[in-house]
Amino acid sequence: MHGVLLTTGLCLLLATTASSTRMVCVYDRVASTRPSVGRVTPAMIDPTLCTHIIFSSANIETQEVVPFDSNDTALYAQLNSLKNRNPQLKTLLSVGGPGFNNQRFSAAVASANNRKKFITSAKALIKNNGFNGINLDWRHPGDADSQPMDPTRFLTLCQELRAEFDKEVPALLVSASVSAERATIDSSYPNTSALASAMDFINVLTFNFHNPSESNTAHHSPLGALSSNPSDTLTTEFAMNYWNTTLGVRADKLNVGFAAFGVAFRLANANDNGVGAFTSIVAPEEGCYTGQPGVWSYYETCAYVVGGITRRIPSQSVPYTVTEGHWVGYDDHLSIDAKTAHIGTRGYGGAFVWALDLDDYSGGYCKQGTFPFTRYLKRKLPALTDNTTTTTIPLQATVQETSAMAEVGSTPTQRTIPPFITVILAEAFC
C-alpha cells in the first residue's frame, strides 16, 4: 500500500507544489514578559522568515476586540515595523488562543448586535495599528462550556467578518486556527465548506495531540500512526486528510501546524522508556524560561536533551529523547523533512508555526544560527526556498534507533548522527 501511495503522491507533487507558498508564524505576546533570555519582543524577529506573522493575541471585553494590555500597542508597532524591511510581509491580529475564556467568544457571537460590535472594533484595532487582517483562534466552539448555538454562530461571525473586511482595498485577511482532533472538529464546525469560503487560509493545529499529564508517553505531533495502532486519529496525516478529503476543504487553503517546542513526560520508571511507557504522577520539569511543566521551547529542548538517548519512531516519522528521567517528543530536521514532503505531495497551502518566540532566536543555545527551527522549515517547504545557508554543528550523540521502538521490541542499533541538538552546558542554561 505504501508503494501505491508514494507513486500517486509523486504525480500530485508535480502538479501542486507551486501552491505550497505560505509560511505563517505566530508571535505570542506572553514572550515579552518572560524572564531573562526568555524575553522576546517583535523587534527581535527576522522579518524574512515568514510570509505572514500572527500576533497572539487580543482580548474580548463587552463584545469588543481590545488589547490584552496597554503595553501591547507598542508590541503591535514593533511587529508591523518589520514590514519596513520586508514589504511583502503580512501581519494578522489573533483573537483567542490557548486557555482563552470561551464564554467571551460565546457572548461576542450571541446576537447580530454583539457580532457587529466585535467586527467593528476588530476592524478599527487592525487598521489603526497597521495589521493586514484577523485570525480567529476559538479552538473549541462546541466544547462543554460553550452554548449550543456557538458553532453555528461562529460560522456566521466568520461570514460577516469576510463581508465587512472585503469592503477594504485591498481586502483585509481573515484566517482561523482550528482543531486537528476529529471529535472537536465534528462538534465545532458544522459547515466546513462555508467556513473555508470565508477564510483566506486555515491553520490546522497538528500538535499537542498529547499532553504531559497523560499516563503514557506519546509524541504530541506525529506525522503518521504507530504501526501497532494504525487506526489512531491523533496524527497530522489523519487531521489534514479529514479536513481536506472527508470535509471537502481545498488543500491549498490548509496550513499544517508545526510546534517549535517539545512535550515532555516524567517517566514512572527510567528503565521503561519506550513509546507508551508509564509516566509519573509527578509533573515534568518546567521550561527554564517558558515556565510550563513539560512544554519545552526549541532552545530549552536543545539544552535538556544533551546526554540523553535519542530514538526515532519510523512509522510516525518523529524523534524522542530520554533524558534525566524524562521522555520528550519534538521535531527535528528529519521529521520536518517528512512533514514538508507530505505538504508537497498533498498540495497543502503551507506551514503554521507556533511560535517564533520559542525558537532559538539568538542562536546561542542550539548553535545552528538564529531561528534555526523556522529557518530550516522555510527552506524545506515546497516553493518557499531562499538562498540562506544553514550550517549545522553536529553533536556526537549516541542514538538508538529501532524499526518501531516498543512497537516491535527489536534490539536497537547504535550509530552516530548529527541531529538538530548541539552541545550546550545545561548547567549554564538554567
Q: What is the pLDDT of residues 5-61, one digit of tens each?
A: 333 333 333 333 334 489 999 999 999 999 998 999 999 999 999 999 999 999 999
C-alpha 259/C-alpha 206 separation (Å) is: 8
Instruction: Encode pLDDT of 307-351 as tens digits.
Output: 999 999 999 999 999 999 999 999 999 999 999 999 999 999 999
Structure confidence at residue 5 (pLDDT): 35
56 neighbors 94 (Cβ within 8 angstroms) = yes
pLDDT band at 425 (very low <50, low <70, confident <90, very high): very low
Give the strand pairing for 326-329 and 261-266.
antiparallel
C-alpha 299/C-alpha 430 separation (Å) is: 12
Instruction: Encode pLDDT of 187-200 as tens digits.
Output: 999 999 999 999 99
CATH architecture assigned to 2-259+331-391: Alpha-Beta Barrel (3.20)
Tell how far CA 396 is from the center of its chain: 29
Question: What string of H, E and C letters represents the secondary structure of 301-354?
Answer: HHHHCCCCEEEEECCCCEEEEEECCEEEECCCHHHHHHHHHHHHHHCCCEEEEE
Task: Round the average pLDDT of the chain to a whole number and report it.
Answer: 87
* pLDDT (mean) for 161-172: 98
pLDDT band at 385 (very low <50, low <70, confident <90, very high): low
Comparing CA positions, the residue from 38, 55, 46, 122 lying closest to residue 92 is 55
Instruction: Encode pLDDT of 348-383 as tens digits.
Output: 999 999 999 999 999 999 999 999 999 999 999 988
Nearest 5°: CA angle at 291, between 285 and 295? Answer: 60
Higher pLDDT, residue 3 or 106:
106
* Residues 6+ away with beta carbon under 8 Å from 223: 235, 236, 237, 316, 317, 318, 335, 338, 339, 342
**How far, CA to CA in Å, does 324 sit from each of 108, 268, 285, 327?**
46, 12, 10, 9
Peptide bond into 57 cis (omega under 30): yes
* Three-class SS state of 429: helix
| DSSP calls for 357-386 | GGS-TTSTTTSS-SSHHHHHHHHHSTT---
C-alpha 331/C-alpha 372 separation (Å) is: 12
Share of the chain above pLDDT 70, in %: 85
Comparing CA positions, the residue from 222, 209, 260, 210 lying closest to residue 28 is 260
226 neighbors 275 (Cβ within 8 angstroms) = yes
